[in-house]
Amino acid sequence: MIRGILASLLTGISLTAAPGLVSQVPADLAAERAAFADWLAHSPVSPYAAVSAAPLDASGAGIDLGGRAARIVERNGAAWLEGAGPAHPLPRNRPTPVGGTTVLVTGDPPRTRVMLFQPGRSSASPAYYPFDPAVVFTGTLTPPATPGSERVLTPDGIEVEATFAGTVTVPLGTTTTLRVLRLPDPASEESSLEIYFRDRTSGAGSYPAGRFVTLAPIGGGRYRIDFNRARNPFCAYSSVYPCPVPWRGNLIGAPVAAGERYQSHP
Amino acid sequence: MIVAALLLSLAPPPASPAGSWRAVLDLAGGELRFALTVRPTGRAFRGSICNGRSCTLLSGIRVAGDTVVLEMQDYAATITSVLHGDSLTGVYHNVGNRGPRTIPFRASRGRWRIEPASAELLGSWDATFVTDGRASPRVLLFSNDSSGFIGGVITNTGDYGRFWGRAEADSFRLAHFDGSFVYMLTGRLDGDTLRGVFHAGRSTQTPFTAVRSTGRPHLASPTGMTSADTSAPFRFAFPGLDGRTVANTDPRFRGKVVLIDVFGTWCPTCHEAAPMLADLYRRYHGRGLEIVGLAYEVTGDTAVDAPLVRRFQMTHRVPYPLLLAGTSDVASAAATLPQLRGFTAFPTSIFLGRDGRVRLVYAGFLGAATGPQHDRQVAEFRATLERLLAEPAR
């Protein structure tokens, strides 16, 4: 079985489409995009609503509650809100309303980060390249030679310990082998298999630092990689977020004119 | 006018979601089945979601036209669906910091068939879950009851709740959905080995293999994971639901055996543990047992958290005090209880002797889904309390 996985090579699937409908966005992808646009416009922790992000240390981070100054400090590994009534601990990875501000404490000590969000920002929908059925691939994942991990930034700029999940090879330009990392979700037992990649559109239509694309399991140990689902890190929406450094080796020597484009946001 | 009245009387009544539903979440690894029951209560509705005989009450059901919204307030989750004839179609939606967390939902009227498993699948299995070359142990418990094929998944810190599903020949599919956790176990018996996949959320998949339990310990001991400073009485001081601080130095605890339950209303396993703790209280309070629940809630804001804890208290008829101790992450709980070392699990049970010092810390709780292991844990709790209560006060 291992040998079979090692022998894996991703091959493009030949999606058939009626003439004239080639660029029509499939219903499931359209629904995903609509849900994301709605989340961007309305979630209290949308990157459009982000107003600040600061590392949290013993000296704490200031927070302005409508002219009243409060502080968030870290003690014994927990974040505490002080100056807004009795001091109380703030949950990690769960948005907490404090006055008209939403506070999100993320990351693990000693790299805890405090983010503040306020409503009333942009609600612009993301822009996408036309749907391209030629950049939808299915195949298997070649596991890494040895297990390992490295610290990377998630799309929302949180530093996590990501495990090496393997590589995939895609027939884009010259055949390109891309590294896949498993990013844990700090708020649950779930994780996602991600490729953070750059291509010839990076900085020329798509976000300069790169884009994320997720491997979706389709059964039998196989995955779908759909570059129409390539998406920007949150630093593309707001300068509040730190930008992930491009992952070593994940450079596609061809334009991937699919998925999310880059447009500057107010 | 008579014709109009006749037509009105013949018009079908507005569709109602009341009844039994075969419900499904469509995960990447296939359909996760659960039962949904909706009951009319006057002009409103109440309902529950069930994994076999294990059910969770919905906090609310809103119906507007053909839209039916099932609310799971404890977990900030909803199922928004459209009622069309005998089907509901929609989306399960949970809180996400990186974007929407959604899973397609559908249901049709009726009850799931009862499909018990054959004897070859039943019993206890020592499982190894493997993620990117890293292994971690679990124990799988499979049995049949009146609802069909049921199971439990035990980790080093507790279990994932009641799983329910079906088996066909040597293949099986069991799931647990309580409004917050979305888990599914699929696989088949291959010779003497179970091979399968554990599904979490819509698309996280972890392969596993399992062999029949031999009786040798496969998991870490629940009493060996969290330790405590025993050089002094265990200190706690937190506000109760009435705002008054309850502390270990209060007269009511002097010379008593105290069981501290570190829990959260967001934690399904904690809900499972509550009835057992209430029973222990009623059984042993007269002999000198006090129990205190320390609630670690989602927001840390009393105005939000206190009603949730009050509802927990009423739902489980908790006869002992519940205190608002902090927020729901492990680091926060550890920070507020600095005498503990290696705090890892909700719930955690801390047993104090009559001198106020920690005698035992039990990480996690094995719910009823774990069958004999649950029974063994209850017996261990009782035996520990009997032993501590028999000690003389100093």
Model confidence pLDDT, tens digit, residues A114-163: 899 988 777 788 999 999 999 999 999 999 988 899 999 999 988 888 99
Alpha carbon distance, N-terminus to C-terminus of chain B: 88
Q: Where in chain B is the domain with CATH 2.40.128.120?
A: 15-109, 119-212
Q: Do B298 and A94 touch (CB under 8 A)?
A: yes
Q: Which residue of B has its CA nearest to A192?
A: B204
Q: Where in chain B is the domain with CATH 3.40.30.10?
A: 227-390
CB-based contact B274:B312 (threshold 8 Å): yes
pLDDT band at B95 (very low <50, low <70, confident <90, very high): low
pLDDT band at B297 (very low <50, low <70, confident <90, very high): confident
Q: Do B327 and A91 touch (CB under 8 A)?
A: yes
Q: Is the pLDDT of residue A222 over 60?
A: yes
Q: What is the dihedral of CA B360, B163, B310, B357, to 10 degrees?
A: 0
CB-based contact B349:B260 (threshold 8 Å): yes
CB-based contact A207:A233 (threshold 8 Å): yes
Q: What is the mean pLDDT of residues A4-22?
A: 36
Q: Do B132 and A39 touch (CB under 8 A)?
A: no
User: What pLDDT was estimated at residue B147?
Assistant: 94
CA dihedral sign of residues A252, A255, A261, A265: positive
Contact list in B for residue A43 (CB cut-off 8 A) is 96, 100
**Residues forming a β-bridge with B260:** B292, B350
CA–CA gap between residue A50 and residue B253 (Å, rounded): 47
Using the structure block, give the residue that is written with the tokens 């040998």: A3
Q: Is the pLDDT of residue A205 over 80?
A: yes
Cα–Cα distances (Å) from B160 to A72, A82, B143, B268, in that order, read 34, 36, 16, 9
Q: What is the mean pLDDT of residues A49-61?
A: 82
pLDDT per residue over A237-266, tens digit each? 998 898 998 888 899 999 999 999 997 654
Contact list in A for residue B133 (CB cut-off 8 A) is 143-144, 146-147
Give one DSSP letter per residue of B274-307, joined into a string: HHHHHHHHHHHGGGTEEEEEEEEESS--HHHHHH
Q: Is the pLDDT of residue B232 over 50?
A: yes
Q: Identify the weakest region by mean pLDDT among B98-107, B154-163, B351-360.
A: B154-163
Q: Identify the weakest region by mean pLDDT among A4-18, A37-51, B239-253, B298-312.
A: A4-18
ipTM of the complex, rounded to two decimals: 0.75
Q: Do B327 and A92 touch (CB under 8 A)?
A: yes
Superfamily of domain B15-109: Quinohemoprotein amine dehydrogenase alpha subunit, domain 2 (2.40.128.120)
User: What pLDDT was estimated at residue B265?
Assistant: 86
Q: And the tokens for A231?
A: 């998406």
Q: Identify the weakest region by mean pLDDT among A35-39, B273-277, B318-322.
A: A35-39
CA–CA gap between residue A53 and residue A126 (Å, rounded): 22
Q: What is the mean pLDDT of residues A24-30?
A: 92
Q: Do A91 and B132 touch (CB under 8 A)?
A: no
Q: Please report, for chain B, how many H helices and E strands are present, in that order.
A: 5, 27
User: What pLDDT was estimated at residue A12?
Assistant: 36
Left if phi > 0, otherwise alpha if psi is -120 to 50, otherwise beta: which for B347?
Answer: beta
Q: Is the pLDDT of residue A9 over 50?
A: no
Q: Do A106 and B97 touch (CB under 8 A)?
A: yes
User: What pLDDT was estimated at residue B205?
Assistant: 92
- What integer best gives the mean pLDDT of chain B? 89
Q: Which amino acid is at A36?
A: F
DSSP symbol at B202: T
User: What pLDDT was estimated at residue B252?
Assistant: 95
The CATH code that applies to domain B227-390 is 3.40.30.10
Q: Is the pLDDT of residue A2 over 60?
A: no
Pick the CATH number of B119-212 from 1.10.1060.10, 2.40.128.120, 3.10.105.10, 2.60.40.420: 2.40.128.120
Taking one residue from A and the other from B, the number of pairs with CB-CB distance under 8 angstroms is 116
CA–CA gap between residue B300 and residue B148 (Å, rounded): 41
pLDDT band at A15 (very low <50, low <70, confident <90, very high): very low
Work out the number of other CB atoms within 10 angstroms of the CB of residue A41: 15
With a threshold of 0.90, does the pTM exceed it? no
Residues in CB range of B110: below 8 A, 6 or more apart: B20, B21, B22
CA contacts within 13 A on the Cβ side of B240: 11
CA–CA gap between residue B198 and residue B92 (Å, rounded): 20
Give one DSSP letter per residue of B19-49, joined into a string: EEEEEEEEETTEEEEEEEEEEEETTEEEEEE
CB-based contact A38:A198 (threshold 8 Å): no
The proportion of chain B whose per-residue pLDDT surpasses 90, expressed as a percent, equals: 63
Q: What is the mean pLDDT of residues B150-168?
A: 86
CA–CA gap between residue B158 and residue B3 (Å, rounded): 65
Contact list in B for residue A188 (CB cut-off 8 A) is 200-201
